[in-house]
Structure formats: structure tokens, C-alpha cells
Amino acid sequence: MADENKTPVGTEVSPDERALETMTLTLKNMSDKIEGMEERFKKEFGKDLKAAQEEQDEKVGAIRKQMDALQERLSTPSGAPAEPDDYCGYGEDGVGEFLQEVLAAEVRGQGPSERLIKLQKRQMEQRRLDTLSGSDSGWLLPPKWDLNIMQIPDDGQYIKSLCHVFPAGDPPNAELKMLSLDQTGSKGIHGGVVVYSAKEASNVTATNTAKLKFVSWKPEKVGAYWQVTEETRANASVMVDLMGSRVQGAIAAFEDDKIQTGTGAGEYLGFAGNTAEISVSRVTSNEVNMMDLFNMLARVLARGTYVWMCNRVSMLPQLASLTDGSGQLIWARDARTGLPEGMLMGIPIFFNEISPALGSAGDLRLVNLEYYGIKPGMGASIKSDNTNSNFLPGIETLKVSYYADGKPWLTAPLTLRDGTNTVSPFISLAA
């Protein structure tokens, strides 16, 4: 009679199944030996029988535990779906290895690795893309790596951190259109919403009732590149440092520039000089004094969080020398206690490298960037290149591309109820 524990001839057996069969036979042989053991031990060993039985029971118990664990593994269906690997073998912190393989695939002609292709396919599936490929448009990064590039550096002071950033949405590159109350002209800060008493109802006309308008954001492509030597390429940790700090900071600084000065033609539309900005006349040419500050404060839309924005190099000495009517310093009281904690008239000062020099239009601005919206698009992708001129010195290039758009919410200053005076979240000092 055939042994029921043996696997039929010709059947493919997995290593786990073979191990289970071996342990089953071992346990059966041990059981056969145990039969009649008590009489043999009494005859041969006398008083040591109990200790020998306990040792044998311990060995049998250990084998049974192994069999139970193996049986549990074998009982799991082989086709059961595994947990998805978002990093496809690179690991959560494997961005350095990823960059090395991008360079190897596109610069050195080695072709993409298996995990690079797998990662690309997974990211395309998650983003519902079917036309992007590594050789054409770059290799998409997992969300965490993408965020490490696009987020505001913790130790930096960047304008973007003050703006309203929308979710990317799905699909991320689609244009975002939002309905907004038309608050321009005589419609006022409440967007033409008219409140009236019953006796005045006959005077309400269509010209002063609420109207709607569209404000839209369409993400445009933005690119940044940096060069690495062959030696740098071989060091994954250095590659990560380059992308995580230098590239991150460069992109944040570039976006700060466009948030303030962008033309809106294939790039952000900046708030500087925008149609919603109010320019306040300067009291004295080439300087900033107390009346300038008061005049600017008088024109702000009185809600939200404001910041002063100016160039540190030319504006800091000017602010430090501000005096009151009697000639007393009002910001920096003396040279012993140092400068104030970055506040001017109770409002934070945001020093930056983009604002114009002292005496130029917009050298000092008072803004509420909650009224500036940024719409991110498709996440970042990485490409590599190595032109003929870079081949001999061993220089290789990495380029990161992403999509985004930004612009102010408003298109014009808002008129107050008096029908004459206007306010805005964007106030600048004229030349």
C-alpha cells in the first residue's frame, strides 16, 4: 500500500512542501520508536526513564511547532495579492539609488533596470497616465520623493509658504476654474450683494446686483537642472543631498520670484504690478518714513494676515533709522539691544532677495498672500543627459520637471461703501 504522505511521482513540489513531508516522516519514525520505549528504558536505565521521556517530548514538541508554522504558510493561497510596493525595490529612502539608475539608463546607455521600469509603470497607473515614458519625458518619482523636492525647506524663508496652495486634483494638470463674486468697481468688497429695506426695493436694479466671474489656474511646465561628476554619481548619499537641499532651495527661490514678478505668460502671474495692486504715493523720494507706513496701512483690505515685504540690503538701514516727529528712533532704539524681532508696527517683515532697491516702485510692499493661489500639477519627473561637450570631463546632467500655476485671486482693488475709496490685499509704495 502506497504511503499517503509521499508526493505522487511527477508532481512539482515546492521547498516548503518538501520540508513538511520530511518532518512528517521524521515524526512518524520517532513515534514508532517511542512504542515500547518505557519497558526498554526500565530494563536498561531504571530510574533515568522519566528524564529521558521529558527530553524526547521536548524534541517532539519543537518539531510539531515547526510543522504548524510551515502548514500555516502552505495554507495561504499562492495567488494571494501582496501588499503594493510603492518604491518597487528601492525602499522608502532609496532616491539616491533611483537617481543612479536614471543616469545609467539614459546617459551610459545601459538601459533601464527592472525596478526602474516597474516603478515607472506603477507611478503612471497611480496618476492615470498612458503616454509618459522614461526616454521621452523623464521618470516619475513616488509622492514622498516628489514632496521632498517641492516642499518649502524647513530652515528657509520663502514667499510660497504664505500663499494658498490648492490640492493637485485628478487629473493634476487639468485647468482649475473657480466661480468668484465679481468685486470690481462699484460692486464693492461684498461682490455686489445688495442689502435693502422694503421701501427701497423699487430702487434695486440689475446693475448693482451680485455677479459671478471665473478665476482659473492652468499648470505650466517648469524645469530645473544640475550637473554632477562621475564621482558624485557613484555616491548615492551625495546625490540625495544635492536633490534634497540645493535643488529644493533653488526651486523654492525661483517660485518666490515668479509669485512676485511673474508675467503670467507661460509662468506665474505675480502680484507686483498686478491690476489688483494699489500703489501709494511716497512722501519723500528715495526714503521710507512713518507717513508712508500709515498711508499703506490705510489701504489694506482689513481682514487676514499681512506681511511687509522688502529687500534686506537696502531697506534694513532705512527701517533702522525711522524716526518720529521729534527725531527719536522708533524701530531700532539703540545699537546695544539689537534689532527688533522682525516686526514693524506689529506686522512681520519678510526680507527677501527679490524686492526692488530703496527708492524704486515696490521697494516696500504690504501684502496678504492668502489672496494668492497656487495650483500644482503633475508631480516631478527626472531626466538625465550627457552632451558631447560633457563626455570628456565626465560631467552628467540631471533635470527635474514639474507643473504649476499661480496668480492673485483678485483682478482689481475693492471699492468701499463710500463709493470712492479702494482697498486691496496688495499694497506697494510708489517710486
CA of 317: how far to CAs of 169, 287, 355, in Å?
Answer: 45, 11, 15
pLDDT of residue 369: 94
Cα–Cα distance measured from residue 233 to residue 219, given in angstroms and rounded to the nearest whole number? 32
pLDDT band with cut points at 50, 70 and 90 for residue 340: confident
pLDDT band with cut points at 50, 70 and 90 for residue 431: very high
**Cβ atoms of residues 215 and 409 within 8 Å:** yes
Q: Is 268 exposed, middle or buried (0-12, 13-18, 19+ CB in 10 A)?
A: buried
DSSP-derived letter for residue 57 is H
Question: Angle at CA 174, nearest 5°, toward 171 and 178?
Answer: 115
pLDDT of residue 406: 95
User: Does the N-terminal peptide bond of residue 340 adopt cis geometry, omega within 30 degrees of 0?
Assistant: no
Cα–Cα distance measured from residue 19 to residue 27, given in angstroms and rounded to the nearest whole number? 12
Cα–Cα distance measured from residue 100 to residue 236, given in angstroms and rounded to the nearest whole number? 7
List, as own/partner pairs, every contact residues 52-61 make where C-beta atoms lie below 8 angstroms and the sequence separation is at least 24, other chains included. Answer: 56/30, 59/30, 60/27, 60/30
pLDDT of residue 12: 65
CA of 225: how far to CAs of 139, 243, 248, 384, in Å?
Answer: 14, 10, 11, 9
Q: Read off the pLDDT of each residue in 341-364 and give the average, rounded to a whole number.
A: 91
For the ranges 38-47, 90-99, 162-171, the lowest mean pLDDT is seen at 38-47
CB atoms under 10 Å from CB of 415, counted, come to 18
For the ranges 160-169, 313-322, 381-390, 401-410, the lowest mean pLDDT is seen at 381-390
In sequence order, the 6+-apart residues with CB closer than 8 A to the CB of 105 are: 111, 112, 113, 116, 134, 384
By DSSP bridging, strand 347-352 and strand 307-311 are parallel
Cα–Cα distance measured from residue 241 to residue 249, given in angstroms and rounded to the nearest whole number? 12
For the chain, the maximum distance between any two Cα atoms, rounded to a whole number of angstroms, is 121
pLDDT of residue 184: 61
What crossing angle do the helices spanning 95-106 and 143-150 adopt, rounded to 10°? Answer: 90
pLDDT of residue 156: 65
For the ranges 48-52, 316-320, 373-377, the lowest mean pLDDT is seen at 48-52
| Tens digits of residue pLDDT in 262-283 | 999 989 999 999 999 999 999 9
**Length of the chain, in residues:** 431
- Is 286's pLDDT higher than 90? yes
pLDDT of residue 34: 64
The position carrying cell 496668480 is 407
**Cβ atoms of residues 425 and 163 within 8 Å:** no
pLDDT of residue 349: 93
Cα–Cα distance measured from residue 210 to residue 181, given in angstroms and rounded to the nearest whole number? 7
The three-state secondary structure class of 55 is helix
Lookup: cell for 78: 499562492
